[in-house]
């Protein structure tokens, strides 16, 4: 594993890191921008200061999908802007799950029904905790829980949903896995997910700008997401800012195992440094190894489509629908955080090329040269 001092020896590093910022942070100035605004942060586990931290573009630019605000009311992105993390929330749920395994509160190969017996379909089909974390439960990607009339209906719909394929036979990414995992964790600890995240992850790491359901006082710091309205939106909510973008997480009260957290790049960097240093104070090194080694638990491993040239030697990370991504490369002791509002003022076709370009620039900076073989 390279240290930050070893990475410093690369004479082309500064040029590569400048390219990282140019390739992503400058994109909002283009004619067809990938996002309204973005924060890029990269660093190493051994250095509390990032190698690069940059902000560009706008946290709020539109009043509606087809109407810009007056120019004087545009709000710029800053390095401390708070973003809706979307599916990066899954990484926090994963850390909680692996810690619960480490502490003997749950077992990876135990059935979900041992901790959340109300999930009758999971019990009937023998879905395990490990299958939730590896997306091999067979559950469909999502359900329209936001269409249910009450929390009781939502719980019943989720509990009764059978797997579409036999558990353990195929990988299919699903938000439902992490809604069931939330129930497992809450059942094992007898605490709600938001309290578990605070007490177990954010408070020990001093992540004071990370939480579910941010208070009204945070609103001036939060980047807007989407003008949600039909037909492209699943709910008619208008411009979303300060409440979770994901419709199911919104219907579930803003706290969900798959989405709902808001955070800054600096806070996420604290989490990255802790994991790169071996997990303390959150996890043991053995638990980090289990979580970040292929096939991975909760984390995606070596995915070039968003990791670029960081992929190939065990890089781990995840993306979020709102435009977020996080990559850990233990081979070079480095991390990359990209927080963007690609859905402002409305969602657009998926495109992870800017994520991959940023990751490639970082890879070339810390690995000292050309593409990874």
Asked whether 25 and 54 are in contact (CB, 8 A), the reply is yes
The overall longest dimension of the chain from CA atoms, in Å, is 60
The two structure tokens encoding residue 359:
């990751």
- Phi then psi for residue 329, to 5 deg, are -120, 95
* Non-local CB neighbours of 109 within 8 Å, separated by 6+ positions: 128, 129, 130
8-state DSSP, 11:
T
Q: H helices within the chain, ranges in order?
A: 4-8, 13-25, 89-102, 120-125, 129-133, 151-160, 175-189, 193-197, 247-251, 265-276, 285-292, 304-307, 353-367
pTM (2 d.p.): 0.94
Split at pLDDT 50, 70, 90, the class of 34 is confident
Q: Across-strand partners of 60?
A: 75
pLDDT at residue number 367? 76
> Can you give the CATH number for the domain in which 3 is found?
3.40.710.10
- Phi then psi for residue 46, to 5 deg, are -95, -5
pLDDT in tens, 248-296: 999 999 999 999 999 999 999 999 999 999 999 999 999 999 999 999 9
Looking at every residue in the chain, the average pLDDT score rounds to 91
Question: What is the rounded distance in angstroms from the CA atom of residue 185 to the CA atom of residue 279?
Answer: 20
pLDDT in tens, 43-54: 999 999 999 898
Nearest to 344 by CA among 64, 95, 155, 85: 64
For 20-45, give the DSSP string.
Answer: HHHHHHTGGGSSS-S-SEEEEEEEET
The two structure tokens encoding residue 191:
């605490």
pLDDT at residue number 153? 97
Asked whether 204 and 211 are in contact (CB, 8 A), the reply is no
pLDDT in tens, 295-328: 999 999 999 999 999 999 999 999 999 999 999 9
8-state DSSP, 208:
T
Question: What is the rounded distance in angstroms from the CA atom of residue 158 to the CA atom of residue 161?
Answer: 5
pLDDT at residue number 198? 98
Number of domains in the chain: 1
pLDDT in tens, 75-133: 999 999 999 999 999 999 999 999 999 999 999 999 999 999 999 999 999 999 999 99
- Phi then psi for residue 93, to 5 deg, are -60, -40
The two structure tokens encoding residue 118:
């109300």
Report the percentage of the chain scoring pLDDT > 70.
Answer: 91
pLDDT at residue number 33? 80
Nearest to 21 by CA among 58, 47, 52: 52
Residue carrying the six token digits 């990988």: 171
To the nearest 10°, the Cα dihedral for 305, 306, 311, 315? Answer: -140
Asked whether 174 and 139 are in contact (CB, 8 A), the reply is yes
Report the percentage of the chain scoring pLDDT > 90.
Answer: 82
To the nearest 10°, the Cα dihedral for 351, 34, 24, 311? Answer: -10
Question: What is the rounded distance in angstroms from the CA atom of residue 219 to the CA atom of residue 187?
Answer: 32
pLDDT in tens, 53-63: 989 889 999 99
Residue 152 domain boundaries: 1-373
pLDDT in tens, 152-204: 999 999 999 999 999 999 999 999 999 999 999 999 999 999 999 999 999 99
């Amino acid at each position: 594993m390279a240290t930050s001092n070893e990475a410093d020896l690369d004479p082309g590093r500064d040029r590569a890191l400048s390219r990282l910022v140019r390739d992503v942070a400058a994109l909002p100035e283009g004619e067809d921008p990938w996002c309204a605004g973005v924060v890029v942060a990269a660093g190493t586990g051994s250095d509390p200061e990032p190698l690069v931290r940059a902000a560009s573009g706008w946290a709020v630019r539109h009043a509606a999908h087809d109407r810009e605000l007056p120019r004087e009311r545009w709000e710029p992105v800053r390095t401390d802007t708070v973003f809706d993390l979307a599916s990066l929330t899954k990484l926090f749920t994963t850390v909680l799950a692996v810690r619960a395994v480490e502490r003997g509160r749950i077992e990876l190969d135990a059935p979900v029904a041992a901790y959340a017996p109300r999930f009758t379909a999971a019990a009937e089909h023998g879905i395990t905790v490990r299958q939730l974390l590896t997306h091999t439960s067979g559950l469909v990607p999502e359900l329209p829980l936001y269409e249910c009339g009450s929390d009781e209906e939502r719980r019943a719909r989720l509990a009764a949903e059978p797997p579409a394929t036999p558990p353990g036979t195929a990988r299919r990414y699903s938000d439902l896995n992490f809604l069931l995992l939330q129930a497992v964790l809450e059942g094992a600890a007898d605490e709600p997910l938001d309290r578990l995240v605070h007490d177990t992850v954010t408070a020990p790491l001093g992540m004071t700008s990370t939480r579910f359901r941010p208070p009204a006082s945070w609103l001036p710091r939060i980047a807007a997401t989407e003008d949600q309205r039909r037909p492209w939106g699943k709910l008619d909510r208008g411009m979303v800012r300060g409440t979770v973008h994901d419709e199911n997480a919104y219907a579930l009260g803003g706290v969900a195992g798959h989405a709902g957290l808001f955070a800054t790049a600096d806070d996420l960097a604290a989490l990255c440094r802790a994991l790169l240093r071996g997990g303390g104070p959150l996890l043991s090194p053995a638990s980090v190894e289990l979580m970040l080694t292929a096939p991975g638990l909760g984390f995606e491993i070596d995915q070039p489509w968003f990791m670029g040239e960081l992929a190939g030697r065990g890089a781990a990370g995840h993306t979020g629908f709102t435009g977020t991504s996080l990559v850990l490369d233990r081979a070079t002791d480095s991390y990359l955080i990209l927080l963007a509002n690609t859905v402002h003022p409305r969602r657009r076709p998926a495109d992870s090329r800017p994520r991959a370009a940023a990751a490639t620039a970082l890879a070339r900076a810390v690995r000292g040269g050309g593409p990874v073989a």
